[in-house]
Amino acid sequence: MDLLLSTWKDVEAYLRRSKGIIVPLGSIEQHGPSGLIGTDIFCPQAIAEGIANAADALLGPAITFGVCPFNLAFPGTISARAATFMALLEDYVRSLARQGFERFYLLNGHGGNIGPAQAACQDLHAARSFDPQPQIERMRFRLRGWWDYPTVSRMRRELYGEWEGMHATPSEIAITQALHPDCGQMPEMLPTRKLSEEFLRTHAGDNHGGAEEHRRQFPDGRVGSDPSLAKPEDGRRLLAAAVSDGVADYRAFLVEP
């Protein structure tokens, strides 16, 4: 069930049987020389649709613009500030909480959203302590990156090993190939450099510097990845695995105390 394709009466009826909603989070940013700029919203949107259909859940509108200022030196990237993203997510949640929604399953497709989304959820939880209100007292959140689902994580390691990298990854490129087979080309690319464990720890969650510095460091937009390994058939397998893991995770979230 898609909120945008529903009437208010449909949503009212849904709330009589479920208080949960799935919200995809993405970004509009470069994804290397072969990746689509919409990659980080295409992936969670498709997975969230699959979960919603299988779990008889409501799919909320995606928050498309993410926090990616480090990629602004690449044409086509559109970044939100962390404060903007947080404010939008908080208003989104508060709007629906007022109507009776209680369980917000945030399916993320972009590392730069992790910190701001966690902070927004913490601020919403803080409101319960500062000013207890019935409509926010029951709010619960789960933030998941589709790549962290256990089956997906295992498949990524098996398929790509250390060449999965951090950005413009073969797993996400494979998913977009499956979703949009007529878009994107695979040009010749120079070998990328492997990322050290120290770099991965330091820059987890897309903790990067300024845009010009980032482009100098990664001139074609890839961050330790080899998207030439991507295949659409693997993308379809990754999608199916993410939906399967996501359905189980969403259902468990709904019944948590």
pLDDT digits (tens, 9 = 90+) for 148-201: 999 999 999 999 999 999 999 999 999 999 999 988 777 877 778 888 888 878
Strands (DSSP E) contained in the chain are 20-25, 58-59, 103-108, 140-145
- Residue 137 binned pLDDT confidence (cut-offs 50, 70, 90): low
In this structure, which long-range contacts are made by residues 73-78, counting pairs with CB atoms below 8 Å and at least 24 apart in sequence?
73/211, 73/212, 73/214, 73/215, 74/29, 74/30, 74/215, 74/221, 75/30, 76/28, 76/29, 76/30, 76/37, 77/28, 77/29, 77/30, 77/37, 78/28, 78/29
pLDDT of res. 129: 76
Q: Which fold has domain 20-254?
A: Rossmann fold (3.40.50)
Mean confidence (pLDDT) of the chain: 93
Give the confidence band of 203 by pLDDT, cuts at 50, 70, 90.
confident
Model pTM score: 0.94
Residue 184: per-residue pLDDT:
73
Instruction: Find, among 35, 70, 45, 46, the residue nearest to 170 by Cα.
Output: 35
- Per-residue pLDDT for 104 more than 60? yes
Domain-by-domain residue ranges, the chain? Answer: 20-254
- Residue 66 in contact with residue 27, Cβ under 8 Å? yes
Between 232-254 and 170-179, two packed helices, what is the crossing angle to 10 degrees?
100
Q: In the chain, what percentage of residues exceed pLDDT 70? A: 98
